[in-house]
Amino acid sequence: MKAYVFPGQGAQFSGMGKDLYDNSDLAKELFHKANEILGFDIMKIMFEGTDEELKQTKVTQPAIFLHSTILAACLGDAFQPNMVAGHSLGEFSALVANKTLSFEDGLKLVYQRAMAMQKACEAQPSTMAAVLNLEDEVIEKICGEIDGIVVPANYNCPGQLVISGAIPAVEEACKRLLEAGAKRALILPVGGAFHSPLMEPAREELAAAIEATQFSTPICPVYQNINAAAVSDPAVIKENLVLQLTGAVKWTQIMQNMLADGCTEVIEVGPGKVLQGLFKKVSRDLPTSSAGLQ
């Protein structure tokens, strides 16, 4: 069984999508449509922009979404997923690829998500930190004991968990996690506390947009971030997508559940190879690859 997986923020690079544009009429059409929907030339930034330009919130999330969804569309009949999943932002790409969302609606939601998250980040100084080589349960317990908001945010793979919250609480958690035996507890260069209660204003804003958007029955189940379970019911997919902004990304559990449900091959659709590397941490012998043109 083939699992197609879609990366999240951080996988962007200058020149992303240029090969697709140069070699596919469908890609050209979709990129131009994206420019119209967004109201600025995202193509130019993706193809020629600096790293700094690509790091702008209003650019990063739509850029990764566009790279992934257009690549999936260009695969045509070769795109035959038995299951899909996306890491954080990548869940929106997965939902377009498995026909839950239209390309246009997916892009609009991603752009609204990016702008809402930016606003929430500006409202309160906050951050995230990567914790290595410590059991999830220990991290959860220590976060729960800290005075202030700090929560597990990304369960990336066994031995790698990202925490998120208010800056003093994250700093205190890092100190205690190192004392508890973590190999590293490293503050990340991010603009805010994604997947934490501090994203509540963004969740409320995005919830209204998601509610107003048409969700269809997908061609295959999506394993969603919030519960790591295979979902095909559009109403449930909607609910879970709303919860995603303030809830943890359960990627470790998604990988484990996909494998338990019969996944025999993983294909990463979009920039980078991060998700393939995470799958290898769970199952070293699992065949993984990148999809098509980059």
Residues with catalytic annotation? Answer: 88, 195
160 vs 18: CA distance, rounded Å: 32
For residue 190, which of 222, 218, 167 has the smallest C-alpha distance? 167
Q: Is 253 helix (H, G, I), strand (E, B) or coil?
A: helix
Compute the CA torsion angle 169, 172, 190, 118 (nearest 10 deg).
10
Exposure of 72 in the CB half-sphere (CA atoms within 13 A): 30
Q: Is the Cβ–Cβ distance between 63 and 54 less than 8 Å? A: yes
Stretch (H or E) spanning 96: helix 90-97
At residue 251's C-alpha, the angle toward residues 114 and 91, to 5°, is: 40
Element (H, E) at 2: strand 2-6
Q: Which residues contact 246 (CB under 8 A, 6 or more apart)?
A: 195, 196, 197, 199, 200, 203
Smallest CA-to-CA distance from 196 within 242, 244, 144, 137 is with 244
